[in-house]
């Protein structure tokens, strides 16, 4: 029996102003592809933003304006999208039966904070001093915890556990950034 295999790709990005999503579905040529719907529930929200204007095979970058959390100055300035757990659902008609749904942990701000800290550290020498090595090890550990948080949310299907891990990492990163004198990018 022919059927569609719906799938999305949601790559990690350093762009705080947008989230990129692409349709990587495999569509059956024997079945209709009607009423595509992309629903995105942002962290802290209960209702999804619904987008019904995307074509089959889409590749899109959505802004705060596209997602309905920014309503002013959309042509002039874009607000940052929050980090956290996003619920992303893509469906075709019948939309209640033919869908794929993902938990996605957006870690853009955390990654930018790591980069800011790395810029602050004196790592111009090939062999950093002991204190810098210690800071680099701590950043490595935090980066691995961040990857662990992402895995908990996206692969292990434990969004609360991954979200708690993410909060722990960002609190530690913010403390390091303050010590370093880095300005926050998010």
With cut-offs at 50, 70 and 90, classify the pLDDT of residue 179: confident
Give which of 117, 97, 98 is closest to 109, Cα–Cα.
Answer: 117
Residue pLDDT, tens place only, 88-145: 999 999 999 999 999 999 999 999 999 999 988 877 777 878 888 899 999 999 999 9
How far apart CA 87 and CA 8 sit, in angstroms, is 12
Distance CA 159, CA 69 (A): 22
DSSP-assigned states of every residue in 41-67:
EPTT-SS-EEE--PPTT-EEEEETTTT
Query: CA nearest 106: which of 44, 50, 59, 60?
Result: 44
Q: Mean pLDDT for the chain?
A: 94
Q: Give the model's confidence band at 178: pLDDT under 50 very low, under 70 low, under 90 confident, else very high.
A: confident
Residue 183 pLDDT > 70: no
HSE-up of residue 109 (Cα within 13 Å, Cβ side): 20
CATH class of 8-106: mainly beta
**Where are the domain boundaries for CATH 2.60.40 in the chain?**
8-106
């Amino acid at each position: 029996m022919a059927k569609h295999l719906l799938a999305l790709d949601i790559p990690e990005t350093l762009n705080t102003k947008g989230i990129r999503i692409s349709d990587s579905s495999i569509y059956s040529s024997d079945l209709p592809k009607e009423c595509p719907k992309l629903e995105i529930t942002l962290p802290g929200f209960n209702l999804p933003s619904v987008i019904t204007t995307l074509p089959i095979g889409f590749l899109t970058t959505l802004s705060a304006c596209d997602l309905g959390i920014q309503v002013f100055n959309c042509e002039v300035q874009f607000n940052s999208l929050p980090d956290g757990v996003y619920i992303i659902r893509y469906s075709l008609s019948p939309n209640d039966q033919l869908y794929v749904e993902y938990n996605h942990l957006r870690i853009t701000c955390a990654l930018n904070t790591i980069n800011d800290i790395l810029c602050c550290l004196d790592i111009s020498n090939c062999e950093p001093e002991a204190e810098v090595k210690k800071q680099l090890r701590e950043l490595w550990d935090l980066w691995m915890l961040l990857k662990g948080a992402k895995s908990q949310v996206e692969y292990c299907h434990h969004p609360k556990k991954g979200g708690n891990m993410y909060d722990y990492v960002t609190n530690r990163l913010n403390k390091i950034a303050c010590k370093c004198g880095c300005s926050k990018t998010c």
